[in-house]
Structure 1
Amino acid sequence: MPLTNQAILITGAGGGLGSTAALALAKKGAHIILLDKNIARLEAIYDAIVAAKAPEPIMYPFDLAGANEDEYQELADRIENKYSSLQGVLHSAVELIAFTPIASLPVHEWAHTLNVNLNAPFLLTRVLLPILQKSEHAAIVFTSDSSARTAPAYSGAYGVSNIALEGFAKILSEELESSRKIRVTIFIPGPVDSPLRKRTFPAEDKSKLPAMESLAPIYLYLFGSESIDITGQVVDARTFYL
């Protein structure tokens, strides 16, 4: 479905899944706000969107872990001044440093991972809610992992943050359900041939994994009109069929 004049913010927009979503949504007419701390990756997805003759996106270099509350609010104020309202937020940024036993997990690694994977989605969602509520319909999508249900050994701060993020998303969906304006979804992309997967599972045969582009139709569904009345759901790419 066309997403003309829809403003959607994507965190981790320079990453594999973030850039896949950004390009897919932009090709359908969405105005994308690209959020990432890596400027080179931001420029790459910006160029790809422009080359596709989609609406020109906005690049916003932003360190989710290092930003303070005032900087989050400044981001929200700039979005409101530019677009007046916001129709979507995709939390796609993720930190996974290594699979580590709890007994060996450095404190700074624990804190940094939770900052990116849990605290940042909370802070960003909180400052953006007033702008999302200005829309007739809006979507917040949290990216999680199937491990949130199994809590495997060595998943460390990454595993804990996913479990907590899903809980946060469910609480948020319950609180927003009565207004019927903002829908909240937990998205599990499953194993795909992404840069993060290459780094964390280097010995795996990636030729057997789906390409990142296979997720594009699901991103379009999550932010399109077909999902307007669906909230509080977990969408798993491995079992989802349009």
Structure 2
Amino acid sequence: MSDLPAAEAALRPLDGRIALVTGATRGIGRATALALAAAGAHVVAVGRTSGALEELDDAIIAAGSTATLVPLDIKDGEGIDRLGGALYERFGRLDIFVGNAGVLGPMTPLAQIEPKEWNDTLAVNLTANWRLIRSLDPLLRLSTAGRAVLVSSGAAHKARPFWGAYAVTKAAVEVLARTWAAEVENISSLRVNLINPGPIRTRMRAKAFPSEDPDTLPSPEELAQAILALCLPSVEVTGQLYDFPTCGFKGFLIPS
């Protein structure tokens, strides 16, 4: 009987922790929300589509956890500001933040990108993450082991034709996260890292590479295990970028 609490903790290492995931209704975000829920976290799921959020809620309940659903367009900066206040009133802290929401943007030569397309891509991929940092940083510092993971891309390190808007925003997200990590490392328990998913079987990947066979790619569920591993309280690294699946974070596998 004395081994039961330890075994339970091993199976659900995030019991009692509050985790916020953006872009939680599909792909990497949905898989990550479910992985965190299976590990015991209460998931604050942020997404634009109420119906998809409700479907996610059903899946989280089936995984034995609970969720708070937040229908929110990530470009709504004032809505993000209000979210931080609402989370503080309800939970008094935040333990995990996964900044996953993103758009591919126009696959067009730089000189032909319309200003609205450029601004929309920056708003979702970069500005929203800065605004989330502004809103959530105080809550994450109130955690005993705050963990933040922002999703980057290999495009951030390649000057590939027609990928300009997406690549620029992802490169900026990496500097954003590393700057944040450096600012908080010595004054709080908050740890901030980045993950590059690489080729993953998602709708965005299919849009960028329509002739690619998706069955040859890792699933979002596989990547979610690596993201989960970076969210554990035991993680002490900060300011690092990890390339999946070669990052060494194979994930905390939840037995079926």
User: What's the RMSD between the two structures over aligned residues?
Assistant: 1.2
Counterpart in 2 of 1:106?
A: 114
**Which aligned segments of 4 or more residues in structure 1 are displaced greater than 4 angstroms?**
none
Matched, 1:16 2:27: yes
CA distance in 1: counterparts of 2:168 and 2:176, whole angstroms: 12
Whole-Å separation in 2 of the counterparts to 1:5 and 1:89:
15
Unaligned ranges ≥5, structure 1: none
**Whole-Å Cα distance in 1 between the matches of residues 77 and 231 of structure 2?**
28
Alignment-derived partner of residue 229 in structure 2: 221
Per-residue CA deviations over 1:144-191 (Å, capped at 9, x if unaligned) read 001111131211211110011111111111111112411010111110
Separation of aligned partners in 2, 1:234 and 1:33: 24
- Aligned mate of 1:234, from 237, 241, 245: 241
Is the counterpart of residue 51 in structure 1 residue 62 in structure 2?
yes
Map 1:199-210 → 2, pairs under 5 A? 199-210=207-218
Distance 1:188 1:68 in 2: 25
Give, as a single letter, the amino acid of the residue that structure 1 aligns with 2:209. Answer: F
- Count the aligned residue pairs: 238
Q: Does residue 168 of structure 2 align to residue 160 of structure 1?
A: yes
* Structure 2 residues not aligned, in runs of 5+: 1-9, 251-256
2:254 — aligned with what? none
State the TM-score, normalizing by the size of structure 2. 0.89
Q: Kindly provide the amino acid, as one letter, of the partner of residue 39 in structure 1.
A: S
- Letter in structure 2 aligned against 1:14: T
How far apart are the structure 2 equivalents of 1:5 and 1:87?
A: 9
Aligned equivalents of 1:99, 1:33: Cα separation in 2: 32
Asked if 2 retains the 8 angstrom alpha-carbon contact of 1:12 and 1:94, the reply is yes
Alignment deviations for residues 7-45 of structure 1 (CA, whole Å, 9 cap, x no partner): 010000012000000000101100000001122221221
Percent identity among equivalent residues?
A: 34
Whole-Å Cα distance in 2 between the matches of residues 101 and 61 of structure 1? 33
Q: CA deviation digits over 1:88-134, x for unaligned, max 9?
A: 11000001133111011111000000000000000111111111111
The answer to whether the Cα contact below 8 Å between 1:191 and 1:197 also exists between their aligned partners in 2 is yes
1:181-228, Cα deviation, whole Å (9 max, x unpaired): 11010111110111211222111011211112111321221111331x
